[in-house]
Structure 1
Amino acid sequence: MASIKRYPWISHFLGSPTGYVVHLQKGQVKHQGVGQAFWFRPANSVLSEVPVDDQELPTLFHAITRDHQDVSVQANVTYRFIDPVSVSSRLDFGLQPAGSAPATGREQVATIIGQLCQSHAIDQIATTTLAEALERGVSQLRTVLTDALRTDTRLLSTGIEILGVQVLAVRPESDVERALQTPVREKLQSEADRAVYERRAVAVERERTISENEMASQIELATRREHLVTQEGANARRQAEEKAAAGLIEARASAERQDITTSAEANQIRLVGEAAAAREAATMEVYRDMEQATLLALALREAAGSLPNIGNLTITPDLLSGALAGLFREPAGAGVPAAAASTAGRIEK
């Protein structure tokens, strides 16, 4: 932005790189251009500074469609001043002293361009319905406004060049917009619900598959456990049978051994008895033919073999006479034991 230094009766102007200054002195152009620096007398000088950089003008207005619906149009116009001298002569861009009202050139340009945009947009939207305006209104309005503003006689004569027009939005009233959005929202909500249901269905299906797998695993484990219990029972039963069979075989073997032992012992006893009986019979047969004195001597020898040690033996006449008397009276077979017994009874230690 340009700066002015004021001194008594004279001032100094220093321009900016984006401001085109026009210095009029007594109605004549004394200085003009960008980045000017000069001295001037405020009493007879008028300074105007026109921006030469690109200007952006946002605008918002309403229009009525063919079906009597109110829509708002938001646009942005880019322009620049190609003839600053003409602009300074047609619009107010004067540099005012401190404390004065600011120049109104920018407001005038905004009003001119805004009215032109609104006029052409209203004419275009009036020929379309609300649905068409919402569907194709942005592109149609951009083309219409660009062509209309670039060929407008007033703008060209003023020295204003339109660089571009951007239509940002064409929107209906809020309640109409909500009503128009409802079907789409319902459709989107329906799609969202369907996605949720499908996701839940997939989750339920996965849970069912997991449950079936778990149940199948449990059934398989139960079947294997049943087979294991059956096998263990069969093994225990077989072991018991084998143990019982082994015990039976052992009992039979023990009984057979006992029978064999008993039979052997009985045979041995019988044989011993028979041998003893045969020996006794043979002895008796020998004793039958022997003399009484011989038998007495044998009896005494046998008795002496079974008697304890005798330190002293006293034979009295009575004992001897009694023994001899009995010997001669008893028969031969029975006398020997009787005499031996009598003799043994009288033996004293």
Structure 2
Amino acid sequence: MADITRRLGRRHLRSAPTAHIRHHRRGRLVHDGPGLSFWFRSLTAALSEVPVDDRELAMAFHGRTADFQDVTVQATVTYRISDPAEAAARLDFSIDPDTGVWRAAPLEQIATLLTDTAQQHTLDVLARTPLSTALVDGVATVRERVASGLATEPRLPATGIDVVTVRVVAIRPEAEVERALRTPAREQIQQDADRAVYERRAVAVERERAIAENELASRIELARREEQLVDQRGTNARREAEEKAAADLVRTETEAGRTVSLARAEAQAAREVGAARAEAQAAWLRAHSEAAPGTLHALAVTRLAENLPRIDSLTLSPDVLTGLLARLGRTEPGAEG
């Protein structure tokens, strides 16, 4: 929309670069071009604003396929006005000189023209196409047919309109038909999912079996090694007992040899001691045989005194003393002779 301001009874228009302005004064073209800015008088001016930028037109319409199924087509057409003079001559792009607003609805007229043309070619394609084919290949077919139909439509060049691109977004059947069409695919997907579940379970069972076999093999190997360990322990115990018995035998033989040697030494010592005692006893006897009787009596008394118990006091009666003195008196003369 053009920007119009008032100043001292005159009007000033300023347009965007994407808007083509045509200014007629008393039937004569004064200004013609995009992005203009000028002063004008509202009483003598006739203004038209034609957009020259690319515009998107979304459209949706219903059609029927060859098997009598209703479908909805969603499409988008991009167009531009390449000849503003032709467009302004064929359509009402005039604007109010006070507000800059279009007096009519030219873009709605263009939209109606493009929609009706696209719908005509779309219905022509769908009427010869079954629903299944339309849902699979219909988007590309409809897009090509609509693009070629708009390119050959004579009213568009005559109005100064160029079609840039045509896009068909979707072709959709009715809700019930779409649900019915989804059922086989959903069943197939469910079957695939069930098959995947069964395969996953089979793989899990196979893995569990492999794990169980590995555990069983591990247990068998462990039992075999335990058997080897028991055998080795028995062998080691027997070897240890044999070595211990051999060591005990050696120790016993050593102790027996030492005992025999000790006994021999003790016997030899006993013999030597006995011989020494015999010699001492013989010498003692020889000494006593050679000694005088008085000496022997004195020695006997001495030995007797050594072996007598301790006597704290001794009482001698006159009778004992008289007899002892008499006995000593008789002994001394004989000893001297």
Answer yes or no: same fold by TM over 0.5.
Answer: yes
Given that 2:61 and 2:74 are in contact with CA atoms closer than 8 Å, whether structure 1 keeps it comes out as: yes
Bigger mean CA deviation after superposition, 11-20 or 183-192: 183-192
- Tell me the distance in 2 between the aligned counterparts of 1:154 and 1:201: 68
One-letter amino acid of the counterpart of residue 104, structure 1: A
Map of 1:38 onto structure 2: 38
Task: State the Cα deviation string for residues 290-344 of structure 1 (Å, max 9, x = none).
Answer: xxxxx9999999999988569xxx999999x9xxxxxxxxxxxxxxxxxxxxxxx
Stretches of structure 1 lacking an aligned partner (at least 5 in a row): 277-294, 322-349
- Tell me the distance in 2 between the aligned counterparts of 1:262 and 1:7: 156
Q: How does 1:49-68 map to 2 (within 5 A)?
A: 49-68=49-68
Across the aligned residues of Structure 1 and Structure 2, the Cα RMSD in angstroms comes to 4.4
Given that 2:64 and 2:123 are in contact with CA atoms closer than 8 Å, whether structure 1 keeps it comes out as: yes
Cα distance change on mapping 1:112 and 1:296 into 2, 3 Å: closer
SS at structure 2 position matched to 1:71: strand
Given that 1:155 and 1:161 are in contact with CA atoms closer than 8 Å, whether structure 2 keeps it comes out as: yes
SS at structure 2 position matched to 1:16: coil
SS at structure 2 position matched to 1:58: strand
Given that 2:80 and 2:162 are in contact with CA atoms closer than 8 Å, whether structure 1 keeps it comes out as: yes
Task: State the Cα deviation string for residues 225-271 of structure 1 (Å, max 9, x = none).
Answer: 332233223322343344446556766887899899999999x99xx
Map of 1:132 onto structure 2: 133
Map of 1:185 onto structure 2: 186
One-letter amino acid of the counterpart of residue 149, structure 1: L
Cα distance change on mapping 1:263 and 1:68 into 2, 3 Å: same
State the TM-score, normalizing by the size of structure 1: 0.69
Map of 1:73 onto structure 2: 73
Shift of 1:117: 0.9
Q: How does 1:30-179 map to 2 (within 5 A)?
A: 30-96=30-96, 97-98=98-99, 103-179=104-180
Given that 2:4 and 2:99 are in contact with CA atoms closer than 8 Å, whether structure 1 keeps it comes out as: no
- Tell me the distance in 1 between the aligned counterparts of 2:29 and 2:250: 148
SS at structure 1 position matched to 2:92: coil
Shift of 1:103: 3.2
Cα distance change on mapping 1:265 and 1:112 into 2, 3 Å: closer
Larger Rg: 1
Task: State the Cα deviation string for residues 140-183 of structure 1 (Å, max 9, x = none).
Answer: 11121111111112222222122221212112123322322333
Shift of 1:82: 2.3
Cα distance change on mapping 1:70 and 1:258 into 2, 3 Å: same
Bigger mean CA deviation after superposition, 105-114 or 12-21: 12-21
Bigger mean CA deviation after superposition, 82-91 or 207-216: 207-216
Given that 1:14 and 1:35 are in contact with CA atoms closer than 8 Å, whether structure 2 keeps it comes out as: yes
Shift of 1:30: 3.0
- Tell me the distance in 1 between the aligned counterparts of 2:135 and 2:195: 29
Given that 1:9 and 1:42 are in contact with CA atoms closer than 8 Å, whether structure 2 keeps it comes out as: no
Count of matched residue pairs: 310
- Tell me the distance in 2 between the aligned counterparts of 1:92 and 1:9: 27
- Tell me the distance in 2 between the aligned counterparts of 1:303 and 1:257: 50
- Tell me the distance in 2 between the aligned counterparts of 1:44 and 1:84: 22
Bigger mean CA deviation after superposition, 94-103 or 81-90: 94-103
Cα distance change on mapping 1:29 and 1:227 into 2, 3 Å: same
Given that 1:80 and 1:162 are in contact with CA atoms closer than 8 Å, whether structure 2 keeps it comes out as: yes
Task: State the Cα deviation string for residues 9-49 of structure 1 (Å, max 9, x = none).
Answer: 43122232211112233334333222333332212322110
Shift of 1:191: 3.3
Map of 1:281 onto structure 2: none
One-letter amino acid of the counterpart of residue 31, structure 1: H
Given that 2:55 and 2:78 are in contact with CA atoms closer than 8 Å, whether structure 1 keeps it comes out as: yes
Task: State the Cα deviation string for residues 41-69 of structure 1 (Å, max 9, x = none).
Answer: 21232211001122221111110101111
Map of 2:6 onto structure 1: 6
Given that 1:73 and 1:167 are in contact with CA atoms closer than 8 Å, whether structure 2 keeps it comes out as: yes
SS at structure 1 position matched to 2:76: strand
One-letter amino acid of the counterpart of residue 47, structure 1: L
Map of 2:313 onto structure 1: none
Shift of 1:5: 1.8
Task: State the Cα deviation string for residues 75-126 of structure 1 (Å, max 9, x = none).
Answer: 1112221221221122222212439775301111111111111111111101
One-letter amino acid of the counterpart of residue 183, structure 1: P
One-letter amino acid of the counterpart of residue 65, structure 1: T
One-letter amino acid of the counterpart of residue 10, structure 1: R
Map of 1:347 onto structure 2: none
- Tell me the distance in 2 between the aligned counterparts of 1:191 and 1:263: 104
Bigger mean CA deviation after superposition, 95-104 or 128-137: 95-104
Task: State the Cα deviation string for residues 181-202 of structure 1 (Å, max 9, x = none).
Answer: 3333333343344444444444
- Tell me the distance in 2 between the aligned counterparts of 1:265 and 1:33: 152
Bigger mean CA deviation after superposition, 50-59 or 184-193: 184-193
Bigger mean CA deviation after superposition, 214-223 or 41-50: 214-223
Cα distance change on mapping 1:3 and 1:264 into 2, 3 Å: closer
SS at structure 2 position matched to 1:137: helix
The reply on whether 1:18 has 2:18 as its aligned counterpart is yes
SS at structure 2 position matched to 1:67: coil
